[in-house]
């Protein structure tokens, strides 16, 4: 158990109006969580303080060699004002898997979840309530030694900041166009692809710029060796419904093990669908599409939950999926997952965690 010291703000900020457009990641709440790590002492001084700037030496290691990690989850408010998290223990576990890869000290899972709950509880009045909105939670760790040598840092900061966010889809699920990147790659096996760390995103920006220049909203990455097998989308895992079966790339070390991915697999299996986690080549997709067997394509991730794909571009081929419309499986997954998250459906898997008790 962390002994969290709480300093409340004396100057609360004005909250956004009830139906103001929130967007994503631009508005921050009144408080944040911070905890320090010092070699020999471990994690110490857990505290909740007013949201504020931090001051670091320009030589702080995180600025130079990118030793940092982050997580992403959400808090949802139900119709009767209960506040829920969705499988936060999974974020805690993934934090430590990422930390191992980046030589960052582990945080006990229960401390991670306790810190998230504590800061969300303090700012629970910031959780928006219009349909589809939520409070985005961003835990992260940065290396803070003042040192230009290449080595793991001896000091770190763990912080949690909170951002009210708007509905990902303003007017119902909307299929997106996706660019299969054939030149650049995001990650390789043995690299950091399975870790949630800024470096993977830095490597992905150039592909995103290419996709946006061609009016595609997201990039689908191929494997880093043969550039032939499907990996994942920028910040989402990817699923295909091919000839009645649900197919998704297996976790091979270079893709991020999404919690929404795991939940999608469990839901599909509970509905009696065949789910295959395996290698999928672009050629297989092109073939399936030609034969009319590529029934649905969708991304999964905390931000969008389920993101139906209407169009997939690969070099000179543009595959139209399900006539550019939302498929029934995508819609059912979205309705079920959000129903559980907002407390509208029965939580048969035990995924919901209440804040404030
Ligand atoms: C966070 C993330 C995902 C989705 O993970 P969820 O736990 O479902 O939100 C997928 N891919 C990448 C690269 C990510 O960073």
- Whether residue 193 contacts residue 250, with contact meaning beta carbons closer than 8 Å, is answered with no
**Count of CB atoms within 10 A of residue 243's CB?**
13
By most ligand atoms within 8 Å of CB, the mutation choice from 72, 218, 231, 305 for ligand 1 is 72
CA of 284 to the centre of ligand 1 (A): 24
- Whether residue 311 contacts residue 279, with contact meaning beta carbons closer than 8 Å, is answered with no
From the alpha carbon of 232, which atom of ligand 1 is closest? Answer: 11
Q: What is the pLDDT of residue 170?
A: 64
Give the whole-angstrom CA distance, residue 240 versus residue 246: 6
Q: What is the pLDDT of residue 19?
A: 83
CA of 232 to the centre of ligand 1 (A): 9
Under 8 Å CB-to-CB from 271, ≥6 apart: which residues?
A: 332
From the alpha carbon of 236, which atom of ligand 1 is closest? Answer: 10
What the block records as the tokens of 256 is 């991020």
Q: What is the pLDDT of residue 187?
A: 94
CA of 147 to the centre of ligand 1 (A): 31
- Whether residue 263 contacts residue 350, with contact meaning beta carbons closer than 8 Å, is answered with no
Residues in the chain, total: 357
CA of 20 to the centre of ligand 1 (A): 27
Phi, psi of 354 (to 5 degrees): -80, 140
CA of 64 to the centre of ligand 1 (A): 24
From the alpha carbon of 261, which atom of ligand 1 is closest? Answer: 8
Per residue of the chain (357 residues), what is the pLDDT tens digit?
999 999 999 999 999 998 888 999 999 999 999 999 999 999 999 999 999 999 999 999 999 999 999 999 999 999 999 999 999 999 999 999 999 999 999 999 999 999 999 999 999 999 999 989 999 999 999 999 999 999 999 999 999 999 999 987 766 678 999 999 999 999 999 999 999 999 999 999 999 999 999 999 999 999 999 999 999 998 999 999 999 999 999 999 999 999 999 999 999 999 999 999 999 999 999 999 999 999 999 999 999 999 999 999 999 999 999 999 999 999 999 999 999 999 999 999 999 999 997
Q: Strands, DSSP E only, in the chain? A: 5-6, 31-38, 42-50, 68-70, 73-77, 83-86, 134-143, 155-165, 176-180, 218-222, 230-233, 237-242, 245-249, 275-278, 294-301, 305-314, 317-320, 352-354
Q: What is the pLDDT of residue 171?
A: 63
Q: What is the pLDDT of residue 234?
A: 86
- Whether residue 27 contacts residue 16, with contact meaning beta carbons closer than 8 Å, is answered with yes
- Whether residue 279 contacts residue 250, with contact meaning beta carbons closer than 8 Å, is answered with yes
Q: What is the pLDDT of residue 173?
A: 76
DSSP class of residue 349?
Answer: T
Pairing type for strands 176-180 and 305-314 reads parallel
CA of 300 to the centre of ligand 1 (A): 8
Q: Which helix (H) or strand (E) covers residue 5, if one does?
A: strand 5-6
CA of 303 to the centre of ligand 1 (A): 9
- Render the burial of 186-214: b for 16+ CB within 10 Å, e for the rest: bbeeebbbbbbbbbbeebbeebbeebeee
Give the whole-angstrom CA distance, residue 161 versus residue 61: 21
From the alpha carbon of 71, which atom of ligand 1 is closest? Answer: 1
Under 8 Å CB-to-CB from 146, ≥6 apart: which residues?
A: 57, 59, 60, 61
By most ligand atoms within 8 Å of CB, the mutation choice from 235, 257, 261, 267 for ligand 1 is 235
CA of 255 to the centre of ligand 1 (A): 9
- Cα–Cα separations (whole angstroms), residue 28 to 129, 252, 277: 16, 35, 38
Q: What is the pLDDT of residue 47?
A: 98
| Residue identifier of the C-alpha nearest atom 12 of ligand 1 | 235
In 3D space, the residue among 131, 169, 173 whose CA is nearest the CA of residue 328 turns out to be 173
What the block records as the tokens of 272 is 């009696």
Pocket of ligand 1 (CB under 6 A): 72, 196, 232, 235-237, 256, 258-261, 300-302
DSSP class of residue 313?
Answer: E
Phi, psi of 31 (to 5 degrees): -130, 165
Q: What is the pLDDT of residue 174?
A: 82
């Amino acid at each position: 158990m962390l002994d969290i010291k709480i300093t409340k703000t004396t100057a609360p900020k004005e909250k956004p109006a009830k139906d103001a457009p929130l967007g994503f990641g631009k508005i921050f709440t009144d408080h944040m969580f911070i905890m320090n790590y010092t070699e020999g002492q471990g994690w110490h001084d857990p505290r909740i303080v007013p949201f504020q700037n931090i001051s670091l030496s320009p030589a702080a290691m995180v600025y130079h060699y990118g030793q940092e990690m982050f997580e992403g989850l959400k808090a949802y408010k139900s119709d009767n004002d209960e506040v829920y998290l969705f499988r936060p223990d999974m974020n805690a576990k993934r934090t430590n898997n990422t930390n191992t890869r980046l030589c960052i000290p582990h945080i006990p899972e229960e401390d991670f979840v306790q810190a998230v709950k504590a800061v969300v509880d303090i700012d629970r009045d910031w959780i928006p309530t219009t349909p589809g909105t939520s409070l985005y939670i961003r835990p992260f760790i940065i290396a803070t030694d003042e040192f230009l040598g290449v080595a793991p840092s001896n000091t770190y900061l763990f912080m949690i900041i909170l951002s009210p966010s708007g509905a990902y889809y303003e007017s119902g699920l909307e299929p997106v166009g996706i660019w299969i990147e054939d030149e650049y790659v995001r990650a390789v096996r043995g690299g950091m692809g399975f870790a949630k760390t800024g470096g993977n995103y830095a490597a992905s920006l150039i592909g995103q710029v290419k996709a946006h220049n061609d009016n595609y909203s997201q990039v689908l990455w191929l494997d880093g060796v043969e550039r032939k097998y499907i990996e994942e989308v920028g910040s989402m895992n990817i699923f295909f419904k091919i000839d009645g079966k649900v197919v998704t790339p297996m976790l091979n070390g270079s893709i991020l093990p999404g919690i929404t991915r795991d939940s999608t697999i469990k839901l599909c299996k509970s509905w009696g669908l065949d789910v295959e986690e395996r290698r999928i080549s672009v050629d297989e997709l092109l073939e399936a599409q030609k034969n009319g067997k590529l029934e649905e394509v969708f991304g999964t991730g905390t931000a969008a939950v389920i993101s139906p794909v209407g169009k997939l571009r690969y070099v000179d081929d543009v595959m139209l999926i399900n006539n550019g419309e939302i498929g029934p499986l995508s819609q059912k997954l979205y309705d079920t997952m959000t129903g559980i998250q907002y407390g509208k459906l029965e939580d048969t898997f035990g995924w919901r965690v209440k804040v404030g008790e």
